[in-house]
Chains A and B, each alone.
Chain A
Amino acid sequence: MELFTNQVLAGIATGAIYACMALAVVMIYQAIDHLNFAQGEMAMFSTFISWQLMQWGIPYWWAFLATLIISFAGGIIIERLLFKPLAKAPVLTNVAGFIALFAIVNSVAGLIWDFTIKQYPTPFGSSPFLGSQLISTHQAGMIGVTVGLLILLYLFFQFTRIGLAMRAAAAMPESARLVGINTSWMIALGWGMASAIGAIAGILIAPVVFLEPNMMGGVLIYGFAAAVLGGLTSPLGAVVGGFLVGVFENLAGTYIPGVGNELKLPIALALIITVLVLKPAGLFGRPIVKRV
């Protein structure tokens, strides 16, 4: 029983990271109807920026804050330079754009910081949380920061004018323009926020997976699985999906004989395919109905 509880709690902790990545993916998907394959690489780059800032002697939380601001600005710049011009381009052009972004960010990170694996600090420590062996303080920190972030995002989208405008622009762009919303900037803002959310995910997971240019590859696939499971049109679904995938991943690794650590990733992919076949809209998504 203790093993089970332990695995569930650890799953919730990594699930928090998947939830963040899924949320970032869903935010951009809602805005431009494309999956950002480079979301993980952007998060990795942000994590390297925070690491670099700390190497220069800036304290953890200041580096954290500065990285969020830099990532936010970076997300907006990427949208303005690369994806705004592609707004009316066919799907494949956009996909090519995302893959190019993936490759460029990955290589540039390798060029600047090389491909050796680096330790990444945690401000929470890794001792048992509240004296319990079930969960470490860093894992508890991951959950805590994510839940805090989710609450802030909920308040932002539900109770601020700009949050309302962003929701309107994502739901019905043409109607949004007709009430005077600059939808183009709302998309850019979505990119900035997605980029900053990804940065948080990267910084929180880096002490676990260690810092290197390919650190987010697996995480992003779990993030996609979470987003698909929850429904790509639902931010809430993305979050729930993230936690579910985290728990599922851990339990499958522990209890299904022969799965182990090596087969965890194929499980995520199998999950994506299963959901797409059985319930394409996901748990919380709205099925897309088009009038013909």
Chain B
Amino acid sequence: MTAMLNIKDLRAYYGQVQALHGLSFSLNEGSLTTLLGANGAGKTTTLRAICNMVRSTGAIEFEGKPLSGKSTENVVRLGIAHVPQGRGTFTTMTVEENLQLGAITRNNKKAVVTDIERMYEHFPVLKERHTQQAGTLSGGEQQMLAVARALMLRPRLMLLDEPSFGLAPLIVRELFKILGKINREEKVTILVVEQNAQLALELADQAYVIETGRIVMSGNAKDIANNEDVRKSYLGY
């Protein structure tokens, strides 16, 4: 396995405040990795730094190409789909328009139409609501839409920022099942940032734990789940 995403000594800043203090990690192609950490640890900032939405230094390489200096939209165009916190839904537009927007950089119209149909198979509820304004969907439906929209890019790498946030446990399980399926069947490498450590560790094969802007632990998701410190701090038993 080769590293698809390689991050070295990443430091990020909000104005004068430094949020990441020399973070290094890598993602293997085809892996499903989770980044765990408490509030304010720097998980969201890490994702934002990959897409160049926050001022940062250090090296980020995607498939051997450096991402630094690239605008957000150009990072996305390389095949990196980012589902942000709050889901990034275009609330005033219809569900179908949201899906079309996910594929806005793609030129093959026929393939886009087929992909929209494919998304409706993955997420039947979206088909039911395809003419509805996205803002009127429930939280869970909106998260499904956000994942579907990200997939419309035909991404090589998908970044998800706390997909479980604000969702009922049952919905979270369903969502994570879909993510696992996408990872296996569509060969999309996934990096998911989570506070819900238990579910994330069940789903993932690799895990990193981040604390105050630094990676403090890394390894196989099962090993991390069995680690005593992690159990105490993040799993609560």
A and B form one complex? yes
- Establish whether residues A171 and B77, one from each chain, have CB atoms under 8 Å apart when the complex forms: no
Known contacts A175-B89, A179-B153; A164 and B72 CB within 8 A of each other: no
Interface residues of A in 159-199 (CB under 8 A from B): 161, 164-165, 167-168, 171-172, 174-183
Decide: B88 and A168 in contact? CB cutoff 8 A.
Answer: no
A171 touches B104 (CB 8 A): no
B88→A164 contact, CB < 8 A: no
Contact across chains for B88 and A161 when beta carbons are under 8 A apart:
no
A174 to B72 CA separation, bound complex (whole angstroms): 9
B76 within 8 A of A: yes
Q: Is B76 within 8 A of A171, CB to CB?
A: no
Q: How many residues of A contact B (CB 8 A)?
A: 17
CB neighbours (8 Å) of B81 from chain A are: 178
Name which of B93-101, B118-126, B221-229 contacts chain A.
B93-101
Among A164, A174, A182, A183, contact of B101 (Cβ-Cβ < 8 Å)? A164
Contacting pair A178 B88 (CB below 8 A)? yes
In the bound complex, what is the Cα–Cα distance between A87 and B81 (angstroms)?
A: 26
- Known contacts A164-B97, A165-B104; decide if A175 and B72 are in contact (CB<8 Å): no
Across the interface, B53 reaches (CB within 8 A) one of A168, A171, A172, A174, namely A174
8 Å CB interface, A37-92 against B: none
CB neighbors of B among A4-42 (8 A): none
- Knowing A161-B104, A164-B97, A167-B93 touch, does A180 contact B77 (C-beta < 8 A)? yes
CB–CB A180/B73 < 8 A: yes
Chain A positions within 8 Å of B77 at CB level = 180
Is the pair A177, B76 in contact by a Cβ cutoff of 8 Å?
A: yes
With contact pairs A168-B93, A171-B92, A172-B88 given, residues A179 and B102 touching in the complex (Cβ less than 8 Å): yes
Kindly provide the distance from the CB of B150 to the nearest chain A CB, expressed in whole angstroms: 8
Q: How far, in angstroms, from A179 to B65 measured CA to CA in the complex?
A: 20
Q: Does B18 contact A (CB under 8 A)?
A: no
7 new A-B contacts at CB < 8 Å, known A171-B92, A180-B73: A171-B93, A174-B53, A174-B84, A178-B82, A179-B101, A180-B77, A182-B71
Tell me the B residues contacting A by CB distance below 8 Å. 51, 53, 71-73, 76-77, 81-82, 84, 88-93, 97, 100-102, 104-105, 149, 153
Contact surface of A with B, Cβ cutoff 8 Å:
161, 164-165, 167-168, 171-172, 174-183
